[in-house]
Amino acid sequence: MSTRIFGSGIKRREDPRLITGKGLFTDDITLPGTLHMVIVRSPHAHARIKRVDTSAAEAVKGVVAVFTGSDVDLGAIPCAWLIPNSDLKTPAHPALAKDRVRYVGDGVAIVVAENRYQAQDGADAVRVEYETLPSVVNPEEATRAGAPQLFDDVPNNIAFRWIASSGDDAVNKAFQDADIVVKERIVQQRLVPTAMETRSAVAQWNSVTEEMTVWCTSQNPHIHRHILGLVLGIPDHRLRIVAPEVGGGFGSKIPVYADEALTAWEARKLNRPVKWTETRTENYQVTIHGRDHVEYVEMAAKKDGTVTGIRGTVYAAMGAYLSTAAPGIPTILHGLMYSGAYTIPNIRCEAIGVFTNTTPTDAYRGAGRPEATFLVERLMDKLAAALNMDSVAIRRKNLIPPFDNGHQVAIGITYDSGNYAAALDKALEILGYDQFRQEQEAARRQGRYLGVGVTTYSEICGLGPSQVAGAVGFQGGLWESVIIRVSPLSKVQVMIGASPHGQGEETTFAQVVSDELGFPIENIEIVHGDTNRTPMGWGTYGSRTTPVSGAALVLAARKLKEKARVLAAHLMEAAVEDIDYADGRFFVKGSPDKFKTIQDVTLMANVAWNMPPGMEPGMEASQFYDPPNFVYPFGTHIAVVEVDAETGAVQLKRYIAVDDCGPQINPVIVEGQIHGGIVQGIGQALYEGAVYDENGQLLTGSLMDYALPRADYFPRFELAHTYTPSPHHPIGVKGIGETGTIASTPTVYNAVIDALKPLGVEQIEMPLTAPRVWAAIQQARGGV
Ligand code: MCN
């Protein structure tokens, strides 16, 4: 019997070229005659532009052109996420500011030169006169009376107000009738997505055919094509977007930025190729940031620990303009997940999107779900403490019981499948929970502060079913399409609309196709990242590629297999019902020696001289796929920490993650995704935070100032899995790309608070750096 390639941890096929320096990234592309662009950016968070003097810049050697906001005849950069039934305001976001700048980094002018150094010299010579205006950086403060206003027609800086509720009267009653209510004000600090590769774009205009090609760092080339097409006024069949190798994105390469539009605009205007590549400082100032929420939340419960309600109000910073998907984050990806893994009968979330004089925010790994998981898990621990209950016992009491085909939560969405208690049991067993609690007691007697954090989570991914998405207020179905084409010699090309950029689908998708059709994996190539070579797709983010594009892939492969079976039956002069399949061979039932291989059948389909009547020649199938529901991976994460009460230093001693993403195509890739995710989530809990001063200057504007976690900060992660298939995915898989980030922040946070319980510390603002933890301990001890 052959070993199944589905489920085997083969090495990633994309890695040899990446780790030997053979990958082709956007900045590696230099076409003959390329010009280089540098963007002059505002040093002020909020100011009126009084005058821009480009004359000195134009005189710099090598400078070809300098343009300001009034020269650029581009459409505004749109926000693609609209929220129906809300008062969403979408003030124009010009590609270059004309009269007012609204954050440090807002583009004011562009300089194009024969090389990058000359362009930079030119940019340094542009003189801009500003009249500075008061600025506001905190989303809660920005809504208060008297706060500086970013847009004349957006009162109180409120971009939108969105409410999701299981029924306001019942929610209010649950809180009135509660035996106990716990509350917290949670600050989800702003984070900077730090991909290894900064953003870059190269544009080439063909003035004869009027076609534009843009190579750029995109997670979703087809979305780039739509939006850049609109902004540039180029029909999408004349606009080709190529995402070559993309060095990570974590959400930051979903949005369509002004910078890419400007690169293309110049290429057309000057009729020469133009390249633009961000510096790391620009990357920190201009590429979107994540989180930045201030949220007031409360949980109502009975004395026995049964949760009866949860409600909250989140002030979500949008930054200075609405980025492509920004309004979706505090709303459907956050508010709709207030139930977590628990049965909570009454739920209400109000999300207020707020403009501030800061870098625009958008999706950063987890996007909305880490914040939701954090608040639910935080309130669970607070409730346990208030009722003097064990934090695992209170979770167990409220967990949704196992279900395998749909469970509707009070807010209205339907989780697909889950067995939360099974993951919890497994994680507790790995830790040895009861024994740990004894060790903790013993340690406390010796003046050592050990703590444990336990998170039982469920998350929403696989964006997104058009029907469900529409019903919850997202005007768009994020479907996928796939084409599988097999050549006469059985070389398989799989064209996908999704656009992986580090996740490994060149390997896992080839595993799926090999498993379904029986071609050896070496013969299968996954083609992605080029709108001229691939069918329509909405990209790679929201852990959607395997749930959505992967489902299209399986269905396309099954179409081909069915065609091959009919053709094999014809070639063997047997009835189709009598044909069985195994390991790449079609054979007559009961006579395994009488067979045709998939290669035999493929050759015939392509040369086509002996086809069954009515069968089309060729070995090609395409499939569009609009999923019937989201998928909901889940699991339990546990962290054990020790806090040094004299210094405030937190040491992470153990980290256990039991995740369930259904059947795993490649367990090594799945674990790699979980590792990366955990590190990003713990980065938020312990180290990272973008800090603005009161004038809107980003103080953490480089890798020297922004504390990214490093490998040597972490113990070996202890991973385990449960396997609960999604009922609606053709092979049962759910996404795994974000679970680590979603679960790990509250896990580590709660562990630290648990460690400090004997000292009376109940809350510390993230990141939990040693000085902050130390200060909280001093305060609890009665010091300052
Ligand atoms: N997989 C599997 N079995 C499953 C589920 C997934 O083998 N049951 C595999 C997939 O086939 C794929 C990988 O795990 O190879 C992740 O798949 P999926 O969960 O579908 O997520 P996406 O491919 O859609 O990736 C998006 C996700 C997100 S949202 C962020 S942010 C993120 C992440 O992936 N950014 C990343 N992982 C990243 N990894 C890298 N290296 N770089 C990024 O920018």
Q: Which atom of ligand 1 is nearest to the CA of 500?
A: 23
Residue ID of nearest Cα to ligand 1 atom 35: 250
Residue ID of nearest Cα to ligand 1 atom 8: 664
Ligand 1 pocket member 662 (CB < 6 A): yes
Query: What's the alpha-carbon Rg for the chain, to the nearest Å?
Result: 28
Say how far residue 291 (Cα) sits from the centre of its chain: 12
Q: What is the pLDDT of residue 85?
A: 57
Q: What is the pLDDT of residue 1?
A: 45
Ligand 1 pocket member 502 (CB < 6 A): yes
Say how far residue 44 (Cα) sits from the centre of its chain: 30
Q: Which atom of ligand 1 is nearest to the CA of 507?
A: 15
* Alpha carbons 657 and 636: distance in angstroms, whole number: 6
Q: Are 308 and 170 in contact (CB under 8 A)?
A: no
Q: How far is the CA of 281 from the centre of ligand 1 (A)?
A: 27
Mutation pick for ligand 1 pocket among 461, 541, 543, 664 (CB with most ligand atoms within 8 Å): 543
The three-state secondary structure class of 291 is strand
Whose structure tokens read 């005659």?
33
Residue ID of nearest Cα to ligand 1 atom 9: 670
Q: How far is the CA of 502 from the centre of ligand 1 (A)?
A: 8
Ligand 1 pocket member 737 (CB < 6 A): yes
Q: Which atom of ligand 1 is nearest to the CA of 253?
A: 44
Q: Which atom of ligand 1 is nearest to the CA of 540?
A: 24
Q: Which atom of ligand 1 is nearest to the CA of 661?
A: 8
Ligand 1 pocket member 366 (CB < 6 A): no
Ligand 1 pocket member 459 (CB < 6 A): no
Q: How far is the CA of 351 from the centre of ligand 1 (A)?
A: 28
Phi, psi of 480 (to 5 degrees): -135, 160
- Residue 52's identity, in one-letter code, is V
Residue ID of nearest Cα to ligand 1 atom 22: 543
Q: How far is the CA of 580 from the centre of ligand 1 (A)?
A: 34
* Alpha carbons 595 and 597: distance in angstroms, whole number: 7
Cα–Cα distances in angstroms (integers) from residue 483 to residues 50, 402, 498, 765, in the given order? 54, 37, 12, 49
Residue ID of nearest Cα to ligand 1 atom 38: 503
Ligand 1 pocket member 506 (CB < 6 A): no
Residues 6+ apart with CB under 8 A from 76: 92, 93, 94, 95, 231
Centre a 10 Å sphere on the Cβ of residue 574 and count the other Cβ atoms it contains. 17
314 bridge partner residues? 295, 351
Is the whole model's pTM more than 0.85, yes or no? yes
Q: What is the pLDDT of residue 470?
A: 77
- Residue 151's identity, in one-letter code, is F
Ligand 1 pocket member 546 (CB < 6 A): yes
* Alpha carbons 619 and 567: distance in angstroms, whole number: 11
Divide the 784 residues of the chain into consecutive groups of 10 and give the mean pLDDT of each group.
85 97 97 98 98 98 98 90 74 95 98 98 98 98 98 97 96 98 98 97 98 98 96 96 98 97 98 98 98 98 98 98 94 94 98 98 97 98 98 98 98 97 98 98 97 98 87 80 97 98 98 97 98 98 98 98 98 96 94 94 98 97 97 98 98 98 98 98 98 96 95 96 98 98 98 97 98 97 76
Q: How far is the CA of 364 from the centre of ligand 1 (A)?
A: 14
- Residue 545's identity, in one-letter code, is T
- CA dihedral for 500, 501, 506, 508, sign (positive or negative): negative
Q: Which atom of ligand 1 is nearest to the CA of 741?
A: 31
Ligand 1 pocket member 738 (CB < 6 A): yes
Ligand 1 pocket member 363 (CB < 6 A): no
* Alpha carbons 457 and 449: distance in angstroms, whole number: 26
Q: Which atom of ligand 1 is nearest to the CA of 669?
A: 14
Q: Which atom of ligand 1 is nearest to the CA of 734?
A: 8
Ligand 1 pocket member 673 (CB < 6 A): yes
Q: How far is the CA of 553 from the centre of ligand 1 (A)?
A: 16
Ligand 1 pocket member 500 (CB < 6 A): yes
Q: What is the pLDDT of residue 441?
A: 98
**Total residues belonging to the chain:** 784
DSSP for 350-418, please give it.
EEEEEE-SSPPB---TTTTHHHHHHHHHHHHHHHHHHHT--HHHHHHHHBPPPBSS-EE-TTS-EE--B
Ligand 1 pocket member 54 (CB < 6 A): no
Q: Which atom of ligand 1 is nearest to the CA of 666?
A: 7
Q: Which atom of ligand 1 is nearest to the CA of 498?
A: 24
774, 735, 781: which is closest to 759 by C-alpha?
Answer: 781
Ligand 1 pocket member 218 (CB < 6 A): no
Ligand 1 pocket member 541 (CB < 6 A): yes
Ligand 1 pocket member 192 (CB < 6 A): no
Q: Which atom of ligand 1 is nearest to the CA of 250?
A: 31
Residues 6+ apart with CB under 8 A from 661: 633, 670, 721, 733, 734, 735, 736, 739
Residues 6+ apart with CB under 8 A from 509: 494, 496, 526, 549, 550, 553
Q: Which atom of ligand 1 is nearest to the CA of 663?
A: 8
Q: How far is the CA of 503 from the centre of ligand 1 (A)?
A: 4
451 bridge partner residues? 641
Residue ID of nearest Cα to ligand 1 atom 20: 546
